[in-house]
Amino acid sequence: MPQKLHAPLIKVQDLLVGYGSFILMRDVCFQVNAGDIFFITGGSGCGKSTLLKVLMGLKPPSQGHIWYGQDDFWASPIQIRNKIKRNTGVLFQSGALWSSMTLAQNVALPLQQYTTLSDDAIYELAKLKLALAGLAGFEDYYPSEISGGMRKRAGLARALALDPQILFLDEPSAGLDPVSSRHLDDLILELRDTLETTFVIVSHELDSIFAIANNSIFLDNQTRTIQAKGDPKVLRNDPNTPLCALNFLTRGAAAKQATT
């Protein structure tokens, strides 16, 4: 990772998230640095995707602060929030591609909406983003004509359309076979190293977590807060890691041993 990275990009302080009177998570505090591949992980129902929505600006927290640089996101006027969101991209769990549009047309959508570029320039940029995602030559294909792994790559190309500093990924490996999942992990590493993109990823896929994460938080659905934070490879070998997080981080290794 380039040495100039590591500056704090996102700082979360004393976050309380819920639905009405139901508290989903409390006392959530963590920091995402530039160049991180940061995973939000934990068991089902712990609030991973909800926390991602709060970070993305889709759901306000009940209390607490999310700082993007010097800006307190939820305390800022809508113009500032929109400016921050323009500096982010999103890969939804299903890819969320328009089935009636080609891959190039899907990638072109944010460029058409937020830039004044000509149609020819937009098409060339869409081709470039698809090439960055490993889909050169597939510009005129429709989502139904490509594999699930390729649709995830196309969704990632669209998320890259406006050259965001931060990419939010919701369960990017969900539904993929192990080979496609590994190829997607390799692409994430490549984009981090070449474009200096910071990734915030929701996932419970341990293979991906240990392959590419350098920072993480573990949400526990019993205590409804963060039980562990840091590099997951370090957490797995740290005797001070809380048992609930340790059991989660080691279950993949135990499952592999049971099948050999």
Pull the structure tokens for residue 66.
Answer: 């999310």
Q: 182, exposed or middle or buried, with CB in 10 Å at 0-12, 13-18, 19+?
A: middle
Tell me the sheet residues that pair with 15: 28
**Helices 119-132 and 103-114: crossing angle, nearest 10°?**
120
Half-sphere exposure of 257 (CA within 13 A, CB side): 5
Q: What is the mean pLDDT of the chain?
A: 89
Q: Give me the mean pLDDT over the 38-54 stretch.
A: 91
Instruction: Please report which confidence band the pLDDT of residue 255 belongs to, taking 50, 70 and 90 as the band edges.
Output: very low
Query: Is residue 252 pLDDT above 60, yes or no?
Result: no
The β-bridge partners of 33 are 8
pLDDT, residue 176, reads 81
- Between CA 190 and CA 162 the distance in angstroms is 18
User: What was the pLDDT predicted at 1?
Assistant: 47
Lowest mean per-residue pLDDT among 57-61, 90-94, 202-206, 208-212: 90-94
User: Where are the strands (E) in 142-214, listed by range?
Assistant: 166-170, 198-202
**Nearest residue to 170 (alpha-carbon basis) of 119, 94, 228, 107:** 94
Nearest of 141, 138, 134, 129 to residue 101 by alpha carbon: 141
More confident residue, 177 or 30: 30
3-state helix, strand, coil in the chain (%, to 5): 40, 25, 35
Instruction: Determine contact, residues 226/64, Cβ cutoff 8 Å.
Output: no
Asked whether the predicted pLDDT for residue 33 surpasses 70, the reply is yes
CATH 3.40.50.300 fits 8-87+164-258, yes or no: yes
Domain ranges of the chain: 8-87+164-258, 95-159
Q: Give CA–CA dist 82/76, Å, rounded.
A: 10
The pLDDT confidence band at residue 148, using thresholds 50, 70 and 90, is confident
Strand partners, 215: 38
